[in-house]
Amino acid sequence: MNIAVAGTGYVGLVSGVCFAEKGHKVICVDTDKEKIDLMIAGISPIYEADLEEMMKKNYAEGRLNYTTEYAAAYKNADAIFIGVGTPELPDGSANLSYIATAARQIAESVEQDCLVVVKSTVPVGTNDKVEQFIKDFLTHDVKVEVASNPEFLAQGTAVRDTLKASRVIIGTESKGADDKLRKIYEPFGLPIVSVSRRSAEMIKYASNNFLALKISYINDIANLCELVGADIEEVVKGMSFDGRIGSSFLNAGIGYGGSCFPKDTKALKYLAKQYSYDLKTVGAAAEVNKKQKTKLFMKSCKRLITFQGLKVAVLGLAFKHGTDDLREAPSLDNIALLLEQGADIYAYDPAASGNLEKKYPNEIVYVHAPEEALKGANVCFIFTEWKEIKEITPDTYKKYMKTPLVYDGRNIYKTEEMKNAGVEYYSIGR
């Protein structure tokens, strides 16, 4: 099938590349000419395992292309996927201006019947409006239907999550649209769930919010564990044998970040408010998360008189391992506080240092190995569970740091092993 994809961010680009990988002919559209040229040259604008390789292969084999010329790309497409961003507005609602721009361009370009598929996360009811909007602006006498097909990929594992997704959600208002989307996904061999358009939109928010709830719940319990003398790792182990609870997304730590959970919790709360419904659980999850992000810093303030003149090693900056993304990363809140308190920060991250350097070009020393950050340090904070950081042995802290004092926001180590190595160690919920 001829597929066009609007937007080449995480969702758009990864989806486009995966459709090509499965044999469709795909053209990815973006307004950013520099980005398009980069992709034509085989360079991925985002850091994702396997993506660049697949881009090069599918481009060379003629199934994948990139353009800024949206009209030519949309004109004869069988399906157009919208994967543009829906960032958060100051009031917490989703900014739909990129969706509107894409819809308008589609309406003014299509010259044959086509299915427009919204992959972006949009408030319930948006796709009804997108369909009407496109119909209002059509310049040719063609039939355009809109379907909702939310994306569940996580950064760092985006390609795998798309090719081996737990499910494909198809939200349509007609059998024809459902059949067409099922055909597009047929080569993926994944479970497909067909629902109404509004249910599909809701499934995305309900899923992300549930995961955010799970994290905040376990962080809440972890904080209580500390107070009552229980160990969160043991508690989760015991809980996880109950199949109804499961073991995933129960890693206690310094809270969730990234481009989805913080934004989607706010957007769902905002949506509920519009219907005069107070979504209390989600509000609580967001509140717990906000506090959790700086919990370790607050703990360290009880131990230290000042950060002035102290060398502070910061290990891990990205909001999670496997990505260079710093959006809503807990490290940011802590770094701002540490700088405010006069700390000399030496930061290490295998991928995200360059992005932090844009924000703090001179205030932080960026190093290429954890040992460089730890050498002579008075305190160490761990904010991301990178493999490179997990591999640091307890002895290394003792060997390199001036005072082996470690605050671990990801519970990487067993308390006992750090104690045995002579490290003063603080983590979450233990």
| Angle (nearest 5°) at CA 330 between 327 and 334 | 120
* Residue 216 binding ligand UDX, by CB under 6 A: no
Binding of residue 320 to ligand UDX (CB under 6 A): yes
Smallest separation, CB 237 to ligand UDX (Å): 14
For 160-176, give one letter per residue: b (16+ CB within 10 A) or e.
Answer: ebbbebeebbbbbbeee
| Rounded CA separation 198/179 (Å) | 18
Piece of 19-27, 87-95, 230-238, 253-261 that binds ligand UDX (CB under 6 A): 253-261
**Which residues, at least 6 apart from 332, have a Cβ–Cβ distance to it below 8 Å?**
326
Output the CA torsion 202→203→207→209 (10° steps).
0
Do 407 and 334 touch, CB atoms closer than 8 A? no
| Residue 358 CB partners (closer than 8 Å, separation 6+) | none
Q: How many CB atoms lie within 10 A of CB 140?
A: 13
Q: Report the nearest approach of ligand UDX to the CB of residue 37 (Å).
A: 27
Residue 154 binds ligand UDX, judged by CB under 6 A: yes
Look up 260 and say whether it is catalytic: yes
Q: How many CA atoms lie within 13 A of 234 on its CB side?
A: 8
Distance CA 26, CA 58 (A): 9
Least distance in Å: CB of 250 to ligand UDX?
6
| Residue of 65, 209, 216, 251 interacting with ligand UDX (CB under 6 A) | 251
List of E strands, 389-428: 405-408, 424-426
- CA dist., res. 222 & res. 251, Å (int): 10
Q: Does 256 bind ligand UDX (CB under 6 A)?
A: yes
Judged by CB under 6 A, the stretch of 25-33, 239-247, 250-258, 386-394 that binds ligand UDX is 250-258
262 touching ligand UDX, by CB under 6 A? no
Q: Which two tokens stand for residue 288?
A: 């717990």
Residue 258 touches ligand UDX, criterion: CB under 6 A? yes
Is 7 one of the binding residues for ligand UDX (CB under 6 A)? no
Residue 21 structure tokens: 């990988």
Q: Which residue has the tokens 């053209």?
A: 27
Per rule CB under 6 A, is residue 373 in the interface with ligand UDX?
Answer: no
Q: Tell me: does residue 152 bind ligand UDX (CB under 6 A).
A: yes
Considering CB under 6 A, how many residues would be counted as binding ligand UDX? 19
Which is nearer to ligand UDX, 134 or 147 (by Cβ)?
147
In the three-class reduction of DSSP (H, G, I as helix; E, B as strand; rest coil), residue 28 is classed as strand
Q: Considering beta carbons, is residue 184 or 211 the nearer one to ligand UDX?
A: 211
Task: Name the binding residues for NAD(+).
Answer: 30, 35, 86, 121, 263, 327
370 is an interface residue for ligand UDX by CB under 6 A: no
Minimum distance from residue 249 beta carbon to ligand UDX (Å): 4
Shortest distance in whole angstroms from residue 302 CB to ligand UDX: 23
Of 18, 28, 114, 260, the catalytic one is 260
Site stretch for ligand UDX (CB under 6 A), options 50-58, 132-140, 243-251, 293-301:
243-251
In the complex, the residues that contact ligand UDX under the rule CB under 6 A are: 151-155, 208, 211, 215, 249-251, 253, 256-258, 260-261, 319-320
Residue numbers annotated as active site? 260
